[in-house]
Structure 1
Amino acid sequence: MQKLQLLGGITPAQFLRDYWHKKPLLIRNAIPGFKPLLSLGDLASLASQNHVESRLIVKTDGSWDMLHGPIEALPPHDQREWTMLVQGVNLYNEAAEALLRQFRFIPDARLDDLMISYATDGGGVGPHFDSYDVFLLQAQGRRRWKISAQKDLTLVEGLPLKILANFEPDEEFVLEPGDMLYLPPHYAHDGVAEGECMTYSVGFRSPSFQELGENFLQFMADSIDLPGRYADPGLTPAKNPAEIPREMLSTIAEELNKVRFTEDDITIFLGEYLSEPKHNVFFTGPENPLTMGRFVSAAGKKGVALSPKTLMLYRGKNLFINGESFAVSRTDKAVLAALADERALDGEAVAGASEDVLEALYAWYTDGWIVLR
């Protein structure tokens, strides 16, 4: 596998073996000559929109305040110690989307989003830890990072932010544009801006098993089939009227134990769950959509591409897109898996697709899930 400058000249396999979930990696000049993909004005414009997740964090005389977006106005540029965080920038900016996709040596099922942090001098979010892996790419200015492998993750009570109470750094780095720092989950860190700065954070999905379990049970509720109704034709007079009869308990337990789930059930649940867009993601189809015939003709020449907002996964015969699942034939799967892996199909691939695939592509086009290239 090819070595990547993005990973400091090691291969993805080496990175995953030696660093992923294990220890930090500082990468100098990970992206040579890197410059911010959005101006502060563009970032502030995103943060002012209702459907974009954003936060404004201000530290004044040692006290922390946090405002959730939409953010209508920013503090003055010459005011120290404030930070604006904007999540999911890849959903709204093609260059940010392209940057995020450079990290696809990690499966899409784990890749989450690109967050941009803008801070004035001294700005940050305090010493903290994340429950997921993160790459911190410096985009503008300088940020001083202090990190620690400490096991004490006690938080300060009563603050709007999750700030570590007993942070004791082990190492310290200053990152300049193009430098990047990888941190595994639960690794304590504190980043402070030295002058005006922007940092890009590539985060990864790490759902709790509790969250997965609760959602899986809701998913399975639609497929449970337990015919019949409780009855007790052999009932005898109750000695203790308020006591649940043992026979009732055993009969119902026997019926509930008939509930079973298979690996295929888990596959479909997981594919739909992981491909479900976040609550604040909305799709808009073309204002004047082409007819089916014209779409097929245009797509057969130009090809199609997934919208940056679209999440598409597959496993076995099952295809998942934006929370929906389909069982597909082997031939159709080859085309649709290529679309999922490459996030695009060229005209030749579209032209050779089956009628079922073309109908699906057209439906996704009218919904805004894919676009003509």
Structure 2
Amino acid sequence: MYQVNFDIADFLTNYWQKKPVVIKQAFKDFHDPISAEELAGLACEEEVASRVILTEQNQWQIIPGPIEDYSAYGEQDWQLLVQAVNHWFPDSIALVEAFRFIPDWRFDDLMVSFATPGGGVGPHIDNYDVFLLQGSGARRWKVGDIGKYRPRNGDTHTALIDDFDPMLEVTLEKGGMLYIPPGFPHCAKTLSTALSYSIGFRAPSQQELFSSLADQLIDQNTGLKRFTSNGEPTSPSCVSTAQQQGLQAMLAELIANETTMQPILGQLLSQNRFELDLCPADEPYTKEMLIEDIGHGAQLCRVGGLKIIQLEADPLNRLFIDGQSHTLPEHLQPLATLLSDNIHLSQAQTSTLLAEPELVTLIVELINSGHMYLAE
């Protein structure tokens, strides 16, 4: 069990998405939920996103996974990064749960790093919020202020920058944590062989929202209204200011339509960037089997990384699960919240859900698709 050792209300008021902060003992008596050997085992898998970063005279070489042999890298100046460890290693899920004071829809993934002395990533700027939690070993972090920085080698498609003047420097040891909002440059150097945990939270960009909107309009064959105007400019090559504003207003009208935007938001915000570890049932699981197993004490769990979200003021009382929409009767809203708020449901909680046929059907569907499973 992991529990944060700081004032959550104070953090949300004074630091969240505002400014970096160091929390020296964010977790008391912290223990690593995964070993270096187990992390290396995940990096062997095709489905798992991983990479090794080599530090060479202030340059960084990236070697994408899967990775099976580390002998060529030596004993210093490299690190292994594995994304979405919470999807593939169940023992790490409890650490992620400690950060659920931030809503699930913002959560991106748990990235775990194994780094040798001297290993690290160069100065870079992330476009998401990140909690950098130190496990075993020690790392030295530098953080700069928001500003205009030149991309390394002029490459605007990378997060790396040339350098920055630090406004904060700290050595993190086991249980210590650094929070960095989007836009603040930072870098790290490993002082002693270390395991580190990056708990990332990401909101959608305008590009992602418009892409999802376009996909929805095409799939549903909606958004077919065309622009009309009362007058035309005298110059044949001119698009008048009034026409420009009218086109923008037509787009704004579409975005302001909750009937259009709510399913788009629900589907987008419940999806994951990284693959889930889904294991669909070999043979169809039935309602009768579910009721029997729960009666024998089984616990209902969701797979690591699965998001089940609700939209406030949703007139259709939908659950959005891994990009799919599930509409439930209005009177089941409290039970829908019970299902979406809990990653693990006790026998008593699940029995409450099973009193409603619509929820039995949904749970069986989720078990058969591999999104949920039963544990002893």
TM-score range, shorter chain: 0.7 to 0.9
| TM-score, length-scaled by structure 1 | 0.85
- Residue of structure 2 in register with 1:234 after alignment: none
Of 343-352 and 332-341, more deviation after overlay is shown by: 343-352
SS in 2 for 1:264: helix
- Secondary structure of the 1:304 match is strand
Report what 1:55 is aligned to: 51
Letter in 2 for 1:283: L
Runs (5+) with no aligned partner, structure 2? 226-235
| Residue 276 (structure 1) aligned to one of 266, 271, 279 | 271
Number of the residue aligned with 1:362: 364
Does residue 1:266 correspond to 2:261, yes or no?
A: yes
TM-superposed deviation, 1:282 = 4.5
* Structure 1 unaligned blocks of 5 or more: 229-242
Structure 2 distance, partners of 1:37, 1:5, is 13
1:88 aligned partner: 84
Residue number in structure 2 paired with 1:169: 166
2:54, 2:62 within 8 Å by CA — same for their partners in 1? yes
Shift of 1:369: 1.0
User: Aligned residue for 1:237?
Assistant: none
Q: Which shows bigger deviation, 12-21 or 345-354?
A: 345-354
Which residue pairs with 2:4 in the alignment? 6
Question: Does residue 295 in structure 1 map to residue 290 in structure 2?
Answer: yes
For 1:1-373, list aligned pairs within 5 A.
6=4, 8=6, 10=7, 12-75=8-71, 78-157=74-153, 162-225=159-222, 260=254, 262-278=257-273, 280-287=275-282, 290-300=285-295, 301-315=297-311, 316=314, 317-352=317-352, 353-373=355-375
CA–CA distance in 2 between the matches of 1:118 and 1:351?
Answer: 42
Aligned partner of residue 136 in structure 2, secondary structure: strand
Instruction: Give deviations 1:41-64, integer Å, cap 9, x for gaps.
Output: 111111111111111111223432
**Residues 216/360 of structure 1: CA separation in 2 closer, same or farther (3 Å cut):** same
Cα deviation, 1:22-46, whole Å, max 9, x if unaligned, reads 1111111111221222111111111
Give the structure-2-normalised TM-score.
0.84
Residue 81 of structure 1 deviates from its aligned partner by 0.8
Higher mean C-alpha deviation, range 256-265 or range 124-133: 256-265
Give the C-alpha shift of residue 119 in structure 1: 0.9
Q: Is the 8 A contact 2:79 2:120 kept in 1?
A: yes
Check the 8 A contact 1:6/1:31 in 2, yes or no: yes
Q: Deviations over 1:161-220 (max 9, x none)?
A: 632213211221111101111111111111100021111000011221122112212112
User: Structure 2: how far apart are the matches of 1:227 and 1:90?
Assistant: 42
Q: Structure 1 residues 199 and 226, CA, compared in 2 at 3 Å: closer, same or farther?
A: closer
Residue of structure 2 in register with 1:233 after alignment = none
User: Is the alpha carbon distance of 1:227 and 1:178 closer, same or farther for their aligned partners in structure 2, counting shifts above 3 Å?
Assistant: closer
Instruction: Please give the alpha-carbon distance, in whole angstroms, between the structure 1 residues aligned to 2:349 and 2:283.
Output: 25
Give the paired residue count: 348
Structure index of larger Rg: 1
Pick closer, same or farther for the CA change 1:97–1:369 going to 2, 3 Å. same
TM-aligned CA distance change 1:98 to 1:111, over 3 Å: same
Q: 1:88 to 1:362 in 2, by over 3 A?
A: same
Percent of aligned pairs with the same residue?
32
* Residue pair 1:35, 1:139 contacting (<8 A) in 2 also: yes
